[in-house]
Structure 1
Amino acid sequence: MTHWLPGRYGGVLLAVLALAALATTALFAVAAAAYARRRSRRYLLVAGVVGLLALRTLLGIGTVLDEVPMVVHHLVAHGIDLAAAVALLYAVYRAPAHRPGDL
């Protein structure tokens, strides 16, 4: 493991990251299937953001395994956070106005 992570936490962190990788990959598959069904830009945007989150988890695993330097991890991970937030706000901003009776 890496020098910044005490040995007793390495296994726990890898287990959590592995579960996160499985979950985000499954969510990406669902989002990609939804896009394939709907073929709209909004669904493509959602699938892209979920895909970025899956990549972010892989980046974390690479960092724990000392394959990705911590500086690169922070730059890329926080860049993904920014991209996801911008995409979410764009989707909300571009959504049609709420009509009475809509949920």
Structure 2
Amino acid sequence: MIPADELSEPAVRALVNAINANDVATFRAALTADATMSDDGTDRDLGQWADREIFGANGHMDVESEEDGGCSLVAHYRNDTWGKMRTRWHFDVSDGKVRRFETGQA
């Protein structure tokens, strides 16, 4: 596993650390104002999804590997709703913040 503090891309590192700390304010600060996301190929409302899948369910990421300069991750993601699953994440970064991320089962 790769410690979140050692992830290559600073914007992704900030977002993963915010998820793992259950820190909504830092999570939002790591995103652009118009950030979007998709889950298993379907676009979702980012705020509602994060509240349900991360912050309301104690979400946590243990990163297994990274590629693409740290913008593509494979992680073991767990939360109180779904338990633990192996997931893939891809992040588009703009001006030091995450503009979009896509996640799904790996």
Q: Indicate whether the TM-score tops 0.5.
A: no
- Determine which structure has the larger strand proportion and give its number: 2
TM-score normalised according to structure 2 size? 0.24
Q: Which structure has the larger Rg over C-alpha atoms?
A: 1
Which structure carries more helix by proportion?
Answer: 1
